[in-house]
Amino acid sequence: MSDTPNRPPRERAIDPPPGPHAAPMPEKPLDATPARQGRTTGHVRWILLISIVLVILAFIVARLFSV
């Protein structure tokens, strides 16, 4: 499909450049933690919970002062 010259330029723009595109595979599969290159912590849950509580309080304050 990429060798048809009569396609619009918009469709030809997303074709990958010619050449090898395969990434080299590791000799053995990685475990989940080294592959993720990080650690899982529960901080995001606390930030989300505190943010939701603050937004609800802000809506309550805005409603009280708008009346």
Confidence of residue 16 (pLDDT cuts 50, 70, 90): low
Top-confidence residue, 5 or 30: 30
Give me the pLDDT at residue 30, please: 76
Give me the pLDDT at residue 38, please: 64
Most distant CA atoms of the chain, gap in Å: 67
22-64 per-position pLDDT tens digit: 767 768 877 777 777 666 677 888 999 999 999 999 999 999 9
Q: How many helices and strands in the chain, by DSSP H and E? A: 3, 0
Indicate if the pLDDT at residue 20 is higher than 70: yes
- Over the range 33-45, which residues count as b (16 or more CB within 10 Å of their CB) and which as e? eeeeeeeeeeeee
